[in-house]
Chain A
């Protein structure tokens, strides 16, 4: 690990620790309104000021960090599990099943992902409770975000399937379950971890985009995305630059994730 990667990992650890300990640090509940001080600047009682509804910005940022940093890895985990199951099955079984899975994957990859998310989001009710909107965002990203990983996993499993050690294991009379768990699994497991980690920054950005458009996490539940919804008003932003805190935190976290991830040779 290079010094830059170590620094990035340390920053990520601090942010994650902050997220876990949010209940101790949060001064007030994120939805509580201080109606006598709307749009207030930083003060001892509100270190990052308040928003237009008089809610404490620091509390909302800390809770929003928790929502975004739980939602994205959870969705990445779901997507990776789906990709692992489909990719492993396709790679091991080969033949028509592999062709169908890869064809469906290629077709899905040809479609801009946000169009697909918007179509599915349009199927579901918009006026939902905040917790339900978090669940919908998690399921949408998790169930629709597996395509890119499937191709990589399928290719790796296919290599293992055609390897000499697997042929030897088959000749020795290994049963399919044992082949999968003792021979294929350990060889492709690092790939699962890598795909999971690669998906996290992508899903953080997707949640932010959806929430800014009003189709992700719903108010009053904060997330990095919906905390950035007021950025359209640049005069207010210029007068209160501390409101850029969610964007700054998002950029730092996503950049750190990119630095920490193992360098990979990217090909289209």
Chain B
């Protein structure tokens, strides 16, 4: 019963956010500069009556409520409208671009998580200054680099885009992971295990990681948001045909229907990832932060 309530709460949140996001994106589309203006209206050969008839045909005078209804019902049936700059359906653009970004984000996150977990665990297990100092120094330096500069470096080195995402996400992840593992490591039962002579690796693997697993899973959801955010400058500068590049192009050409729908989809993907991470965390036991 409790699981059913939790699931229902997450679903309700997703649906309400979807509705709120759709409403905001519809507002952006409706009040975007140039909305409803057709090139034919600017043709001097068309008379005033003809232009008026054209406007009537576009149903612009249906009122705001009718517009919202039309837009939201279209959205419910999967019609995300058409991009003004690319003159193609937004749905088709998203279908092509989402897998590209998804692939880069997943691979980048994989590398970043492995590096962060490895460095943080080594620092804890060895309790030596070398791993801790090098981890902190590398993460501080990388944290000070704008993601756009990392993207330029990746272009220069001709490495795949996911490496740039990994480099941007790693320092943020490392700090969180280290902090969570440290909290778990400072528990009395870990001290007892150390007093009984257990090795550092065994302590981290058997006693620290299982306790930190639940908040680490919550962090997985957060790391998706960080990676998707980093994807914009990286894809734009690396010329990778993903969602980030699409959003950047839409912003530069002020293509509001496109950017509003891209943002809505990214937001829903993020929320679904966060909800999934929280549910898995709960299933493993413990409360997520």
Question: What is A's interface to B at a CB cutoff of 8 Å?
Answer: 107, 109-116, 118-119, 121-123, 126, 201, 205, 208-209, 212-215, 225, 228, 231-232, 234, 247, 250-251, 254-255, 258-259, 265-268
B28 lies within 8 A of A251 (CB): no
Task: Decide yes or no: A267 and B180 within 8 Å by CB, A208-B146, A258-B143 being known contacts.
Answer: yes
A215 lies within 8 A of B251 (CB): yes
* Cα A246 to Cα B228 with chains together (Å): 26
A232 lies within 8 A of B152 (CB): yes
Residue of B nearest to A212 (CB): B148
With a cutoff of 8 Å between Cβ atoms, the chain A residues found around residue B180 in the complex are: 267
- Would you give 11 A-B contacts (Cβ < 8 Å), ordered by A? A118-B248, A121-B251, A122-B250, A209-B148, A212-B146, A212-B233, A212-B237, A213-B148, A215-B252, A258-B144, A266-B179
- B window 204-220: CB within 8 A of A: 215, 218-219
- B window 248-271: CB within 8 A of A: 248, 250-252, 254-256, 259-260, 262-263, 266-267, 270-271
With a cutoff of 8 Å between Cβ atoms, the chain A residues found around residue B231 in the complex are: 112
Task: Decide yes or no: A258 and B256 within 8 Å by CB, A111-B263, A115-B266, A231-B152 being known contacts.
Answer: no
Residue of B nearest to A256 (CB): B144
* Cα A192 to Cα B41 with chains together (Å): 54
With a cutoff of 8 Å between Cβ atoms, the chain A residues found around residue B98 in the complex are: none
Smallest CB–CB gap between A168 and chain B, Å?
Answer: 31
The interface bits of chain B over 146-178 (1 if a CB of A lies within 8 angstroms of the residue's CB, else 0) are 111100100110000000000000000001100
B233 lies within 8 A of A213 (CB): yes
Please tell me if B280 contacts chain A, counting CB pairs below 8 Å: no
Task: Decide yes or no: A268 and B251 within 8 Å by CB, A115-B266, A119-B28, A250-B146 being known contacts.
Answer: no
Please tell me if B274 contacts chain A, counting CB pairs below 8 Å: yes
Smallest CB–CB gap between B132 and chain A, Å?
Answer: 13
With a cutoff of 8 Å between Cβ atoms, the chain A residues found around residue B256 in the complex are: 122-123
Task: Decide yes or no: A122 and B289 within 8 Å by CB, A112-B266, A254-B143, A258-B144 being known contacts.
Answer: no
A228 lies within 8 A of B148 (CB): yes
Please tell me if B134 contacts chain A, counting CB pairs below 8 Å: no
* Cα A109 to Cα B228 with chains together (Å): 12
Please tell me if B75 contacts chain A, counting CB pairs below 8 Å: no
* Selected contact of A115 from candidates B145, B219, B228, B255, CB within 8 Å: B228
Task: Decide yes or no: A115 and B247 within 8 Å by CB, A209-B147, A228-B146, A255-B140 being known contacts.
Answer: yes
Smallest CB–CB gap between A255 and chain B, Å?
Answer: 5
Task: Decide yes or no: A110 and B274 within 8 Å by CB, A115-B262, A209-B147 being known contacts.
Answer: yes
* Cα A74 to Cα B262 with chains together (Å): 30
